[in-house]
Each structure stands twice: as structure tokens, then as C-alpha cells.
Amino acid sequence: MGGRINRRNMIAGGAGLSVAGLAAPALADAQPAIKWRMTSSFPKSLDTIFGASEVFAKTVSDMTDGRFQIQIFAPGEIVPGLQALDAVTNGTVECCHTSSYYYWGKDPTFAFGTAVPFGLNCRMMNAWMYEGGGIDLLNDFYKRYKVFGLPAGNTGAQMGGWYRKEIKSPQDYRGLKIRIGGFGGAVIARLGAVPSQLPGGEIYGALEKGAIDAVEWVGPYDDEKLGFQNVAKYYYYPGWWEGQAMLHFFINLETWNALPKTYQAIIRAASSHANTVMTARYDMQNAAALRRLVKGGAELRTFSVETIDACFKAATELYDEISAKNPDFKRVYEAMKEIRRENFLWFQIAEASSDTYMMMQSRRGGL
């Protein structure tokens, strides 16, 4: 062991570095060999989303010299993509990688863990989770489903999706059959749309066959891989229902509680790292993908302020109605609103003015 320690610091530096004997009994408790199965809600082809679970599993393995192994399974290998949470609740698998908002049909409170329309952006979601009590607050709710949840990747602000026909006013949502993730569907239904929540691998076929008229998934890099540009022409922004979207690792609560504390700390740090890496991966890829899409014929469109205003109004009414009868929802909504109010105030000062200047230089060709 001595050969692996920096001799120079030990001898010359006298810098407090010390090598003590190993406490074998403590180690036996701290690092048992463990294998978990993780079922994913996302197609393996998406190195961004699916990749976050791989980063997580590798980080855990690297930190434990391979003693803690997490094997990841694609949707359908163990359970279908949208049954990932149930498989963890039931103990079919130890953990899953999914979006909590897929389960808003069970309880709309699930929506906050991923994204709600007109919610936070990526920075703010991290602020809430890591320093605003968000992880604990959400887990107070998740424990009803016998799972413990941690952040597991964030897409950043999403695009508004692919449409066969233009959306020029709120009226154009009427009768629109759209695949939309999470709670955005509940809001858009108030404007007359017909939302569905197909998993990633099934969307293209539905759009091609005309079973749906439009689809939102994530953004340029993922959307290009799934091929939506081939079956719908208009590419809208922003996805007002997903100013960010955070994924979750859910772990069976009993399994989590049984983990040695060192392993809990390792899982938490690996999850935090995977959460960062997923956003970084998108940010490295989206610009080039968007250029390719536009070159290939995609037509960029932005929703009108009139349209977004109508959606904002519908969303706020819906939140208030649910809050009146669902105390869990109300508690999490109020917490989110405080982060939102404070941060969209502050971000207008240094962040937005700095970014705006740089975007002006971008348009000038100065970058």
C-alpha cells in the first residue's frame, strides 16, 4: 500500500498526509458486493437520456471497484417503458430510470419531479433540488409509492415539437391529436387538444400512420434520431410545458433504506453527476443537430404570445383547482412557485443581460 502513496509529501512535505491501518470490520459493512437491475423508460438509441443511466452505473461501479453493479435494461426487456415506476414499487427490480411525470395519472403531484408547464428552468430546478429542499420534499410524496427518488439527468428547455399544420392561435389546438409528455397534456386538453403519452419508441409509427397529428419529444438531437422531421414539417419552440425536464432514478424504498450509508452517499453523488452530464451532452449536440434539421427542410416556428398566454392561463387555473383538493400537490406547487418567483426576478439582472449581449454578438457574427 505504501508504494501507492505520494512519498514526497509524506517525507518532505510533512503535510498531514497519513496512512493508517485498515479497519476490516467496518469495511465489511460498508462495501458489500451488490447487483441491481435498473429498468429504463427510454430507448437505448438515445445516448443522451439512456446515456445518463449508463454514466450513473459506471460512476457507482468505478467508486466501488466494481463491487456495486447496476445493470440497465431497455423498455420491454423486463417491463414496458411506462411501467418502470410500478416495477420498482413492487420490487420486481431494485431501481428504474424514468420521468416522474409519466405517472401523473396516478397523482398529478408526480408532475413536479420532471416538469410542469411554466415551471422552472434547468438551473432553477437544480437549485430547488440540491439547496431548496426539493429532493426531500418530493420524497415525502414518493414514499407513498414505496420508492426513493433522485435527480437523473435534465434536458434543459425543450422544443415545442413537430406539427403537420401550423399553430397560429390557441384555437389551432382544438382537436389536435398530440403526443406530449407529462402534465402538459392536461393543460393542452383544456384548449381542446387530444393528448396522448406514447413512449419514445412508439411515436414515429403513430405519426407516420396519422394516428397523431403532432409530437413533442425533447429537442433537436434526440428528435433527429427518432426521425420526426420526416413525417412533420413545422418545428415549434419553446416547449412551454418543459422549460426543463428532469429525470429520476427511483429506488425501491426498502432497498434504499437497507443500503450501507457509504453506498447511499455514493448513489447520491453518482446521481448528481449523471444529472449534470446529461445536460452537458445535450448542450454539446443540439446546435449542430438543429442546423442539420433546418438544412433538411424543417421549418422553425415560434408560438405566438397570444397562444402561450392562453396556455399560461389554463395551466394556472388547473394548478389552483387541483391544489384545492390535493394537499400533496398544493405543498409542492407552492414550493416550486417560490423558487420560480425569486429566480425569474434575479435571472433578469445578471444572467439574462449577459446572455442577451452574447446572443446579440452571435447574430452579428461576432462569435
Q: Is 358 in the site for a copy of itself (CB under 8 A)?
A: yes
Q: Is 277 in the site for a copy of itself (CB under 8 A)?
A: yes
- 20 CB-contact burial (10 Å; exposed 0-12 / middle 13-18 / buried 19+): exposed
Minimum CB–partner distance for residue 175 and a copy of itself (Å): 25
Phi–psi pair at 179, nearest 5 degrees: -80, 125
Q: Which amino acid is at 221?
A: Y
From CA 179, how far away is CA 196, in angstroms rounded?
5
Q: Is 248 in the site for a copy of itself (CB under 8 A)?
A: no
Q: Is 312 in the site for a copy of itself (CB under 8 A)?
A: yes
Between 258 and 325, CB nearer to a copy of itself:
258
Minimum CB–partner distance for residue 210 and a copy of itself (Å): 27
Binding segment toward a copy of itself, per CB under 8 A, in 19-27, 162-170, 183-191, 317-325: 19-27
Between 201 and 255, CB nearer to a copy of itself:
255
Binding segment toward a copy of itself, per CB under 8 A, in 6-14, 164-172, 173-181, 198-206: 6-14
Phi–psi pair at 116, nearest 5 degrees: -125, 150
From CA 218, how far away is CA 200, in angstroms rounded?
10
Between 63 and 85, CB nearer to a copy of itself:
63
Report which DSSP code applies to 93. S
Quickly count: other Cβ atoms within 10 Å of residue 11's Cβ: 8
What is the pattern of x (binds a copy of itself, CB under 8 A) and - over residues 200-239? -------------------xx----------------xxx
Three-state SS for 225-251 is: HHCHHHCCCEEEECCCCCCCCEEEEEE
For the segment 164-183, give every residue that binds a copy of itself (CB under 8 A). Answer: none
Question: According to CB under 8 A, which one of 273, 292, 330, 331 is a site residue for a copy of itself?
Answer: 273
Q: Is 74 in the site for a copy of itself (CB under 8 A)?
A: no
Minimum CB–partner distance for residue 193 and a copy of itself (Å): 19
Side-chain half-sphere exposure of 227, counting CA atoms within 13 A: 11
Strand partners, 256: none
Minimum CB–partner distance for residue 286 and a copy of itself (Å): 5
Quickly count: other Cβ atoms within 10 Å of residue 300's Cβ: 12
Minimum CB–partner distance for residue 115 and a copy of itself (Å): 11
Q: Is 325 in the site for a copy of itself (CB under 8 A)?
A: no
Q: Which amino acid is at 210?
A: G
- Spatial CA neighbour of 247 closest among 42, 89, 83, 17: 42
Q: Is 143 in the site for a copy of itself (CB under 8 A)?
A: no
Minimum CB–partner distance for residue 222 and a copy of itself (Å): 13
